[in-house]
A and B are shown apart, each in its own frame.
Chain A
Amino acid sequence: MTRFFISGNEAFAHGIRLARPEVISAYPITPQTIVVERLSEMVGSGVLNSEFIHVESEHSALSCVIGASATGVRTFTATSSQGLLYMAECLPYAAGGRFPIVMMNANRSTALPWNIYGDQRDSLSQLDCGWIQVYAQDAQESLDLALMSYRISENCDVSTPFMINLDGFHLTHTYEPVDIPDQDQADAFLPEYSTENRIDFDNPKNLCFSAGPEYNTIFKIGEHIGIQNSRKEILETEESFAKLFGRRYTGLIEKYLCEDAEFVIITLGSISGLCKNVTESMRKKGIRAGVIRIRYMRPFPHKEISVAVSGAKSVCVLEKDISFGYAGTVFINVCAALHNEGVCVPTLNRIGGLGGKDITENDIQKIFLDMVEGKKDIAFIGVEGVNI
């Protein structure tokens, strides 16, 4: 293990290098580009023994790794924003084919208006495509997730593609000290990929077929069960990871000062760090504040969230996206979970950070004060006089 001062993208690229994917295809898009630049350098210099394919679009990038995954090899691609939307057709395709492809998405706003900065509308709009979705908080977690993602998605009971989300610029382009494991440590953690779901010349297969009304549901249930099975595999993988590398992760959610919390912000991604800082300052003022960071949006931690906020007086979902015509996508998911689990807590929704707009300490403090005041509304932050 060696410590380096590197960006989130660079840390992530090292995680992928350590996982030794055999086929990588990529099309450049800001702010994802550094990941594929670093990987192409690693392949070029021989540090990583992999096929690196320069494709002509994001649609082809994912299509290409689906083809490669159908031969039974470990694959990787990366994208962002419009690129993710451009490959959207291939997302349920990869999931339906049960191909454990790993893809990094640099969270970025979607057009219009054109904007290259970070929000999470790109990936959250693709929640229903059958992929596992995780949101990293910092560069170290990005690297570690790159390594863990293969082990989780390649488990034969899971066999599901895996999308790792890094906040554009906030996480992809900022520098932090990061521990990079040695290759032999990584090899000890991540076994070689082997699967029955692949092209085989001794036993030829027809893959990616059609299934009419009679059989379709059966295959869709299989996909659902695959993602549900990942709940257990995520925990087991993190346990092994902690034993080998000494860094412990917290499953589908991370709770911060939640044990006795009355006012809880639920959020995801890199903004969680600032929320934790503000939570500490609120505590000093006598407000029992807490933060839940959702790590995995799929599988959705409905039970974990419900248990964690069952004693709270108010819950606010802070998110960088909106499902136009209603509310934030995370809020919609959280509310459904609380209702189904019988947890009756007032909920409010704060939408901010769209197109990279800063979410400040003051904004977060105000969210806690709104909760204390008993507000239950859905609102944009940093914008006055707009009701949702």
Chain B
Amino acid sequence: MIVPNARNITEDEYFFGHKACAGCGGSLAVRIALKVLGERAVAVLPAGCMSAVGFNFPQLCFGNNAMISTFAGTASMMTGVEAGLRARGISDFQIVGFAGDGGTADIGIQALSGAIDRNDDIIYICYDNEAYMNTGTQKSSLTPFGASTTTTPVTGRVKGNTHEKKNMFEIVAAHGIPYAATASIGYLEDYMRKVRKASEIRGTKYIHVLAPCPTGWGVDSDETIDLARAAVDCGLWPLAEYENGVFHINREIKDLDGIRSYVRGQKRFRHLKDSDLEHIEKMRDLRWEGINKTWIKN
């Protein structure tokens, strides 16, 4: 496998002229994945930021074949596209889905589970900005503990989201999927490598890429990459792969104390007290205890 990097990635653009906000992590995740996959990729996108900013007739922003799916139907529509192209005798294509956290972990999880169960030959990419950003920052099941959203506001009694972030990576892995990975747009070369790897494996592939949203997170538009990197470095977003029944951790925590600096800069967390941060740290440490015990380091 040629490892894609800044020097050898294609100059062809397949997602341009869209209306995403400045500093949008999701649009970077889509743009880079399509650069890796190339012109034979068919993109399927449900309701969400990327379909909202990319498909406004007559300004259609995908350079390759692309379609909006129903919100719940990303994976099932990909199944149909894949079967249809195969029935037409066409080969050498990639079906790639780009769904947000709500479209994946909430409304779309049934169809995703079904596709993995059938082992349909598709790449499903969840770009995770940790809330329903297109709708105006409401809580999804991938919103982290403590984050304030418009549906988990900071009020007198409740301080933001009281639930933990759903562990989609391990839920997907529990299906026995051929390949699953986590990624971050803060580590683009790792993300590109995983997209390329997914394109070379048959069956269902799942990549969960952390894609910060300056608008929803309450940060400056030039902070996206740094935050996406910091989330990995402080251990809140482990970079990992699941393959042949085994979990691999790709990167160990670089900055064990980094939670505070990661959290403090974001408006969505600004109400958190020291006790909340201690809770977040405790949950992170528990997770890493499990990772260190059973996952392979590479």
Complex CA distance for A120 and B44, rounded to whole angstroms: 35
Tell me if B111 and A56 are in contact (CB < 8 A): yes
B65 and A63 form a contact (CB under 8 A): no
Complex interface: stretch among A204-212, A250-258, A367-375: A204-212
Count B interface residues, CB 8 Å. Answer: 45
Interface status of A59 (Cβ within 8 A of chain B): yes
A-side contacts of B113, CB under 8 Å: 56
Chain A residues with a Cβ closer than 8 Å to the other chain, count: 41
- Do the beta carbons of B114 and A56 come within 8 Å of each other? yes
B72 within 8 A of A: yes
* One of A64-72, A142-150, A164-172, A183-191 at the interface: A64-72
The smallest beta-carbon distance between B77 and chain A, in angstroms, is: 4
B69 to A60, Cβ gap below 8 A? Answer: no
- Cβ–Cβ contact B73 & A63, under 8 A: yes
A67 with B110, Cβ < 8 A, contacts A72-B84, A204-B65 known: no
B260 within 8 A of A: no
Q: How many angstroms between the C-alpha atoms of A23 and B84 in the bound complex?
A: 6
CB within 8 Å of B: which of A43-82? 50-51, 53-57, 59-61, 63-73, 75
Cβ contact within 8 Å between B51 and A210: yes
Whether B57 and A64, one on each chain, are in contact in the complex, defined by CB atoms closer than 8 angstroms, is no
Question: How far, in Å, is A71 (CB) from chain B's closest CB?
Answer: 3
Tell which of B57, B72, B84 has the most Cβ of chain A within 10 Å: B84
B contact residues around A212 at 8 Å (CB): 56-57
By beta carbon, the residue of chain A nearest B69 is A63
Restricting to B43-96, which residues have a CB under 8 Å from any CB of A? 44, 51-52, 55-58, 60-70, 72-73, 75-88, 90, 93
CA distance A73 to B67 in the complex (A): 16
Task: Decide: A208 and B68 in contact? CB cutoff 8 A.
Answer: yes
- Contact, CB under 8 Å: A199 / B65: yes
| CB of B252 closer than 8 Å to a CB of A | no
Q: Any chain B CB within 8 A of the CB of A41?
A: no
A260 at the interface (CB under 8 A from B): no
Taken together as a complex, chains A and B put the C-alpha atoms of A242 and B225 apart, in Å, by 67
Looking across the interface, which residue of chain A has its beta carbon closest to that of B55? A209
Interface: A201 (CB within 8 A): yes
B90 and A201 contact, CB distance less than 8 A = yes
One of A51, A56, A210 near B110 (C-beta < 8 A):
A56
Segment 195-230 of A: residues with Cβ below 8 Å from B? 199-201, 204-212, 215
- Residues on B with C-beta less than 8 A from A64 are 73, 76-77, 79-80, 83
A60 to chain B: which residues have CB within 8 Å?
73, 75-76, 79, 110-111, 114
Kindly identify which residue among A25, A55, A67, A200 contacts B81, using a CB–CB cutoff of 8 Å: A67
- B61 nearest in chain A by CB position: A206
> Once the chains bind, are B88 and A71 in contact (CB under 8 Å)?
yes
User: B118 an interface residue at 8 Å Cβ cutoff?
Assistant: yes
Whether a CB of chain B sits under 8 angstroms from the CB of A89 is yes
Q: Is the CB of B80 within 8 A of A23?
A: yes
* B117: interface (CB < 8 Å): yes
**Known interface pairs A67-B69, A72-B88, A210-B52; A215-B81 also in contact (CB < 8 Å):** no
Is A262 on the interface with B (CB-CB < 8 A)? no
**Is A377 an interface residue when CB atoms closer than 8 A count as contact?**
no
How many whole Å from A118's CB to the nearest CB in chain B? 28
Given A205-B65, A207-B67: A55 in contact with B79 (beta carbons within 8 A): yes
Contact with A along B134-145 (1 / 0, CB 8 A): 000000000000
- CB pair A208–B67 under 8 Å, yes or no, is yes
> In the assembled complex, which residues on chain B have CB atoms less than 8 Å from the CB atom of A210?
51-52, 55-57, 68
Q: List 14 A-B contacts (CB under 8 A).
A: A22-B84, A51-B83, A53-B118, A56-B110, A59-B111, A63-B80, A64-B79, A68-B81, A70-B81, A201-B65, A206-B67, A209-B55, A210-B51, A211-B56
* Contacts from B to A (Cβ < 8 Å): 39-40, 42, 44, 51-52, 55-58, 60-70, 72-73, 75-88, 90, 93, 110-111, 113-114, 117-118
Q: Given contact pairs A59-B110, A67-B79, A200-B65, enumerate 17 new A-B contacts (beta carbons under 8 Å).
A: A51-B83, A54-B118, A60-B73, A63-B69, A64-B83, A68-B84, A71-B80, A71-B87, A72-B84, A93-B70, A199-B84, A201-B90, A204-B65, A205-B66, A206-B62, A208-B55, A215-B57
